[in-house]
Amino acid sequence: MILILPILSVWIGYFIALFLKPKSERGIKLLLAFSGGFLLAYTFFELLPEVYEEGSPKGIAIFILLGILIQIFLEFFSKGAEHGHIHLSSQKISFPTALFLSLSVHAIIEGIPIREGSSVVYAIIIHKLPVAILLSLFILNSEMKKSTGLLFIAAFSLMTPLGSYISQYTDLIDAYGTQLVGIAIGVFFHISTIILFESSQEHAFNLRKLALITMGMVLAYFL
């Protein structure tokens, strides 16, 4: 059942974009700010203590830094779509292979820490929802064929459950579980901090975004 939630999050984002057709990204950006605060706080409260209990501090730090570097590399191809930066040409009509592959690798990594009964899935779906809305708006407003867009969304929605399935039902997590979760933490750190740094456009103070970031952090504490 837990593997269904990330799939639903992506499709809910798609149908919000399809039927509600948000004219402004302001509300989505506010949701993104909330998700950034939630994801960062959850990483501090839950994931970091877990991995540091199981491995050497310096060894874990290496894999966290590796996760940050991996995410930076992926963003050369995704152009920052993982944290709501959709800068791609709206005239692109072919399947955006580079975007899909980079988002898929990111989604597989973020699925690694998900276990049955783990609350990390809530951090993932809260993060994925605004990204899915923005990505779906890009697809729907482009000249991409409808069937191609649906294929993109369907395949993308399966990537996080795939990462979770690999971690739960293969020997990979037993052999390298701490290291893989460390990489996921690095990815989460990079994504969430980028969202927070970008939450104030041109460094202007925004009380609503600050309040939503704080709410996200507080909610993560109580989960």
The CA-based angle 132-85-26, given to 5 degrees, is: 75
Q: How many helices (H) and strands (E) does the chain have?
A: 9, 0
pLDDT at 86: 66
Q: Give residue 189's region: left, alpha or beta (phi > 0; psi -120 to 50).
A: alpha
- Taking only the tens place, the pLDDT of each residue in 149-206 is 999 999 999 999 999 888 888 877 777 788 899 999 999 999 998 888 876 555 555 7
Give the separation between CA 98 and CA 110, rounded to whole angstroms: 19
Picking from 164, 94, 90, 104, the residue whose alpha carbon sits closest to that of residue 134 is 90
pLDDT tens per residue across span 112-126 = 998 776 788 898 999
87-97 residue pLDDT tens: 555 555 566 78
- 170/117 Cα distance (integer angstroms): 18
Taking a C-beta distance cutoff of 8 angstroms, is the pair 133, 28 a contact? yes
Could you identify the residue written with the tokens 């740094």? 197
pTM of the complete model: 0.88
